Amino acid sequence: MKITIGYLYADLMNIYGDTGNIIALKKRAQWRGIDVEVKNISVGDKLKKGDADIFFFGGGQDQAQSIVASDLESSGKGKIIKAEIERGVPLLSICGGYQLLGEYYKPHKGPKLPGTELFPAYTLASHDRMIGNLVINSMFGTLVGFENHSGKTYLKNKVSPLGMVVKGWGNNGKDRTEGCIYKNAVGCYMHGSLLPKNPKLADWFLKKALEVKYGKEIELEPLDDTLELQAHNSAVKRFG
């Protein structure tokens, strides 16, 4: 089997170690004998249905977000990504990427940046810099990460959060929600990188990508996650 990881705006949206998520997905697939291709999809690139079996969209500063928001809209890639998620293709987005998949992101300076409207949510820049270790309870169990954002995200239409904050700020530091999950698309503020320390979530993305691509239920062979879980449990113990 083979999966193609669509790395959205890798050259512009990749801060706080977010490429570690690509490495985790790639290695966890290769350790199971699954071939992997990573396709960077950035400004000016074309995108069509089936080009990627899973999308990753990392964090970025406001300036990069403004360039990306305009490309998503003008190139039509935002609409293609939305249609791919609707048919079940999984996606992980972190912070700046997550913000641009909502309805809009209003930065401190300048106009609102239009989002792809994948997540029923909107983000407003704030004067709080929300930085620190982030621990949440979710359908994947406890998840641990690191957040660094000023944007506060508010969920709408009863869409599910990824989880509820145990320690940290999360979406907005008020309603205790963190992130958002819609079909197989996840948005969150969990840099870190997220997936190396949360192997259950990493495998969930791989399983969904393979099942949508090959049209059948797929059980992934278990891996020895001793090291990953040591890192996970140490973070929960220290910060949870």
Residues at the site binding ligand GLN, with contacts judged by CB under 6 A = 15, 59-62, 65, 95-96, 148-151
Q: How far apart are CA 35 and CA 153, in angstroms?
A: 36
Q: How far is the CB of 112 from ligand GLN (least distance, A)?
A: 14
Point out the residues that are catalytic: 95, 191
Q: How far is the CB of 130 from ligand GLN (least distance, A)?
A: 8
Q: Which residue, 98 or 228, is less far from ligand GLN as judged by CB?
A: 98
Q: What is the dihedral of CA 58, 60, 65, 69, to 10 degrees?
A: 0
Q: How far is the CB of 193 from ligand GLN (least distance, A)?
A: 12
N-to-C CA span, the chain: 38
Q: Which residue, 88 or 114, is less far from ligand GLN as judged by CB?
A: 114
Q: Is-contact 194 143, C-beta < 8 A?
A: yes
Q: Which residue, 16 or 140, is less far from ligand GLN as judged by CB?
A: 16
Residue with tokens 């801060």: 15
Q: How far is the CB of 216 from ligand GLN (least distance, A)?
A: 36
Q: Which residue, 149 or 197, is less far from ligand GLN as judged by CB?
A: 149
Indicate the residue whose CB is closest to ligand GLN.
59
Question: Among residues 105, 191, 109, which one has the least CA distance to residue 178?
Answer: 191
**Number of helices followed by number of strands (H, E) in the chain:** 6, 12
